[in-house]
Every structure is written in structure tokens, then in C-alpha cells.
Amino acid sequence: MGVVFFLFSLLGSSINIPIIKRKVPVAIKPELSIIPALFGPHIPTVEKQILAINLGEAIIPLLLCLYLFTKILLIETIVSTTVIIIVAKLLSRPIRGIGIVLPAFIPPPLFPQHRL
């Protein structure tokens, strides 16, 4: 099942399913002078925006989660998820220029190893 899931995720990762399509007004470009061109912010001109969901990276993992959800007990899932959330919240720290980080060796022992 793992190999099939990986194969479908890999093949589906190139398929985006559009949800919302809308037109956006084109931004007006600032004056063309040498200083703003070199040091000023770059304003992209966008004519349309598309919000899409990826088949291989969102829908197929969701279907796997729904399948696995039927194989476990609800209380075990709620308790283990709550423990992981609390520990991750307590140990995560914001670092300027990187974002929010969590020590790399903390999450693996927290995830329960259940056999289905």
C-alpha cells in the first residue's frame, strides 16, 4: 500500500485542480529611474490568480488519512494528537530569518508506532 500511495502521489503531484479563478488589475509600474530599478521593491504585474489544490500532495494524502482513520480508535488519535501539539508548542522557537523551528530529534519519538 505504501508503494502504491507513493506512486500515485508522485504521478498526481503535477496535477493541479483549480478552485477559484479571478482577474486582478495589473499593477502600475513606478517611474523608470536607475535607483528604484536597482534598490526599490519589485512589483509583479499579475493579470489573473488561480487558487488550486494539488492532487498528489493534498487529495491523495487526505484519502489515505480518511482510510487510516477508519482503522484506529478515536480516543487514541485525539490523545496522541493533543500530546504532539502541546510538546511542539512548548519546544518551538521563532528564529529571525528562518521562521519557527523545532528541534529535529523531538518529533520522531512522539509519533505513535501502531501496527494496523
The tens digit of pLDDT for each residue in 46-56 reads 677 788 899 99
Where is 74: in which H helix or E strand? helix 74-91
Please, are residues 45 and 29 in contact by the beta-carbon 8 Å criterion? yes
Whether the per-residue pLDDT at 35 is higher than 60: the answer is no
Whether the per-residue pLDDT at 29 is higher than 60: the answer is no
pLDDT in tens, 93-111: 888 877 788 887 776 666 5
Q: Which residues touch 55 (CB under 8 Å, ≥6 apart)?
A: 12, 13, 15, 16, 17
C-alpha Rg value of the chain to the nearest Å? 22
Whether the per-residue pLDDT at 115 is higher than 50: the answer is no
Q: For residue 60, name the pLDDT band (cuts at 50, 70, 90).
A: very high
State the alpha helices, DSSP H only, in 25-69.
34-39, 60-69
Q: For residue 112, name the pLDDT band (cuts at 50, 70, 90).
A: low
